[in-house]
């Protein structure tokens, strides 16, 4: 007989009574914490308390005492506004959150912020809230799980990715891209539950949404179960989840009709329950229906013990895994540890980085290709990919086949024209661990990826965004494809390291930064060729790591010329013009503002000496360069369609223009 939670409010001798009480306690916490904060979302958490209960007590494979166990199931609350539901379960099952943490919901410095944040709260796998992102993060996690399982075997990696998704997640365009990709790749370890509550902030979802979700996901190639009015039926939800977990060839979606705010007499199915609808009287009435005492944050000992036992139950599986995986990894433990951490093998790994000589003048995107393939053998977690621009962006892995259903061990991902999903999948894969995910597309399309890039920075996800075709040097494609504001806008994102290399040796330095670091790195490369600059073969590895370095300098310089990317060569040529006129010049390459800022005041002053005027040159907007330069040569307008060299010259990115700006600033 199907077990229901409806109408049961007190603990009895049977398991069903205890489970019902436990679920109602979660519902009580879901009301109490937002009420204490005077902020939050109560209704969704209340409606989904039975589903969360089933997941955390019957389905998920985890050990709350070891939240970073590599082979745990992952759980994503994509509708992150319902965070109190996840926090309640993490407290009850023993992840370390206390009742005081719940009382501090949404307060300064608390472990329970308004939306779940990876790395901030134990048990939170990805940072969610911007709708659709968690959905797509899960696809990246499933790709990472698949990669590890194919590489090391099921004895080492054998788990599932679970998520709760909402109508808001499915409405956002990123979910369409990610769902299509997951179906194409046959990611069978992906199990999502769609909370079909028919409620949005403005009112019924029918105001703006009447998609046939079942047909939509079946068309994507997903395994779909519509279990209807089962949000209070524990056994039906469990059976559907178990069936989904048994599906190996297709991702799974379970459509669950729920009722926001249930069992509140005043706010069940009320659009206001999407936010802070429950006042003190509403909470009292709802608790009375559930048979709970009218006491905030009430958790009886039998409920806490029940959930803590569920949270620690996975320790047996974890200990068993530690033994079986150790045997399976015999002789490969170093490779496993490096792969998990997205680190290189061996202390001398950087010796494989290629050096480019003065006879070479590749586009930095071409240099990126050479560097990436040199690194692939010594960085075992590389998972490369692009948005249909593999060759164009220099992100092709020569040593592996494409990741497809027929070749699940491939490490070359063809994301197709899906930049939104690609960015989000990178974040999910990085936070899952076990891969160093890399993406490639044109810089102008970083705008499509920006929400994911921002969340990568916020959550410290170790991934590499390669963006090529970095300036108006793109040429004939015209202003739609010529980025001018993108580099500067990316520099505005806290904790994102942006590197714009000047030549092939600086590309190698950029990759050394990415591999040795812990957060997201953007490597921005050129379409057009550029000379290998004198000095970079010896200076670039250390120079890039410090953000900026002196490439060439006269004694007691009268002016400093600072460039990034291919414009460093323009600065070098401008220095020659100035020296011909008797001016003492220093040329500085500044591939990364963030790294330069972090290198310390002593290094910064040694590169940019106080009292010496500085002129910057970059083929993009000049806004922001005031931080480092007294005058700037740049492009404060959109580009034009013409050969790249012509556009550069017409828009003033020339040695003559830089020399003229230097003379003016010196005067």
- Which residues are designated catalytic? 419
Rounded to whole angstroms, the Cα distance separating 275 from 272 reads: 6
Place of tokens 């491939």: 410
Closest to 233 measured CA to CA, from 5, 468, 501? 5
CA 541 to chain centre: 27
Rounded to whole angstroms, the Cα distance separating 235 from 410 reads: 38
Per DSSP, what are the bridge partners of residue 617?
A: 563, 633
Residues in the chain: 667
Backbone angles phi, psi at 468, to 5 degrees: -105, 180
Q: Residue by residue, what is the 3-state secondary structure of 192-258?
A: EEEEECCECCCCEHHHCCCCCHHHHHHHCCCEEEEEECCCCEHHHHHHHHHHHHCCCCCCEEEEEEC
From the CB of residue 228, how many other CB atoms can be counted at a distance below 10 Å? 12
Rounded to whole angstroms, the Cα distance separating 25 from 384 reads: 45
**What is the signed CA dihedral for 9, 13, 18, 20, rounded to 10 degrees?**
-40
Our CA angle for 24, 46, 136, nearest 5°, is 130
Orientation angle between helical segments 133-152 and 419-432, nearest 10 degrees: 60
Rounded to whole angstroms, the Cα distance separating 615 from 563 reads: 9
Please list the helix, strand and coil fractions of the chain in percent, rounded to the nearest 5, in that order: 45, 15, 40
Q: DSSP of 67-109, one letter per residue?
A: TT-TTPPEEEESSGGGHHHHHHHHHHHTSS--HHHHHTTT-TT
Q: How far apart are the first and last CA of the chain?
A: 89
């Amino acid at each position: 007989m199907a077990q229901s939670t409806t109408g049961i409010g007190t603990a009895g001798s049977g398991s069903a009574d205890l489970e019902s009480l436990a679920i109602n306690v979660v519902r009580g916490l879901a009301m109490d914490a937002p009420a204490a904060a005077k902020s939050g979302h109560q209704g969704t958490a209340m409606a989904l308390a039975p589903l969360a209960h089933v997941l955390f007590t019957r389905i998920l494979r985890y050990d709350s005492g070891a939240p970073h166990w590599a082979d745990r199931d992952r759980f994503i609350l994509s509708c992150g506004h319902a965070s109190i539901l996840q926090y309640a379960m993490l407290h009850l099952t023993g992840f370390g959150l206390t009742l005081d943490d719940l009382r501090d919901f949404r307060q300064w410095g608390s472990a329970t912020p308004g939306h779940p944040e990876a790395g901030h709260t134990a048990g939170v796998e990805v940072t969610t809230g911007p709708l659709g992102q968690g959905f797509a993060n899960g696809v990246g996690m499933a790709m990472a799980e698949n990669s590890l399982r194919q590489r090391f075997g099921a004895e080492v990696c054998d788990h599932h990715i679970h998520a709760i998704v909402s109508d808001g997640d499915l409405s956002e365009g990123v979910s369409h891209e990610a769902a299509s990709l997951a179906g194409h790749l046959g990611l069978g370890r992906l199990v999502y539950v769609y909370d079909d509550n028919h409620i949005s902030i403005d009112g019924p979802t029918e105001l703006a949404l009447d998609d046939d979700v079942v047909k939509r996901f079946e068309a994507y190639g997903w395994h779909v179960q519509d279990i209807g009015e089962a949000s209070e039926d524990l056994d039906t939800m469990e059976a559907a989840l178990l069936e989904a977990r048994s599906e190996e060839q297709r991702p799974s979606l379970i459509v669950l009709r729920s009722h926001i705010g249930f069992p509140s007499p005043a706010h069940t199915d009320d659009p206001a329950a999407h936010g802070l609808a429950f006042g003190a009287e509403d909470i009292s009435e709802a608790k009375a229906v559930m048979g709970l005492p009218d006491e905030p944050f009430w958790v009886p000992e039998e409920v806490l013990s029940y959930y803590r036992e569920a949270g620690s139950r996975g320790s047996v599986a974890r200990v068993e895994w530690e033994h079986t995986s150790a045997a399976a990894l015999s002789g490969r433990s170093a490779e496993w540890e490096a792969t998990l951490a997205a680190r290189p093998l061996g202390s001398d790994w950087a010796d494989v980085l290629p050096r480019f000589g003065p006879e070479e003048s590749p586009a930095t995107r071409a240099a990126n290709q050479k560097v990436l393939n040199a690194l692939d053998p010594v960085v075992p977690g590389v998972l490369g990919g692009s948005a249909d621009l593999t060759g164009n962006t220099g992100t092709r892995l020569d040593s592996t086949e494409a990741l497809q259903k027929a070749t699940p061990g491939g490490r070359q991902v063809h994301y197709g024209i899906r930049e939104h999903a690609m960015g989000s999948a990178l974040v999910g894969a990085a936070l899952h661990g076990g891969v160093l995910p890399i993406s490639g597309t044109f810089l102008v399309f970083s705008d499509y990826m920006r929400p994911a890039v921002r969340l990568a920075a916020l959550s410290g996800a170790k991934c590499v965004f390669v963006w090529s075709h970095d300036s108006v040097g793109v040429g004939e494609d015209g202003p739609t494809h010529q980025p001018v504001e993108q580099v500067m806008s990316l520099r505005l994102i806290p904790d994102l390291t942006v590197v714009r290399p000047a030549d092939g040796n600086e590309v190698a330095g950029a990759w050394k930064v990415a591999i040795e670091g812990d957060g997201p790195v953007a490597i921005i490369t050129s379409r057009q060729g550029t000379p290998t600059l004198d000095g970079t073969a010896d200076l670039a590895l250390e120079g890039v790591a410090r953000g900026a370095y002196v490439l060439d300098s006269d004694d007691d310089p009268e002016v400093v010329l600072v460039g990034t990317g291919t414009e460093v060569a323009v600065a070098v040529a401008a220095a020659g013009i100035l020296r011909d006129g008797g001016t003492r010049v220093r040329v500085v390459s500044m591939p990364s503002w963030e790294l330069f800022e972090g290198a310390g005041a002593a290094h910064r002053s040694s590169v940019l000496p106080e009292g010496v005027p500085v002129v910057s040159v970059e083929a993009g907007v000049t806004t922001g360069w005031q931080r480092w330069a007294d005058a700037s040569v740049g492009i404060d307008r959109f580009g034009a369609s013409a050969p790249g060299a012509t556009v550069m010259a017409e828009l003033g990115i020339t040695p003559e223009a830089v020399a003229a700006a230097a003379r003016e600033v010196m005067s």
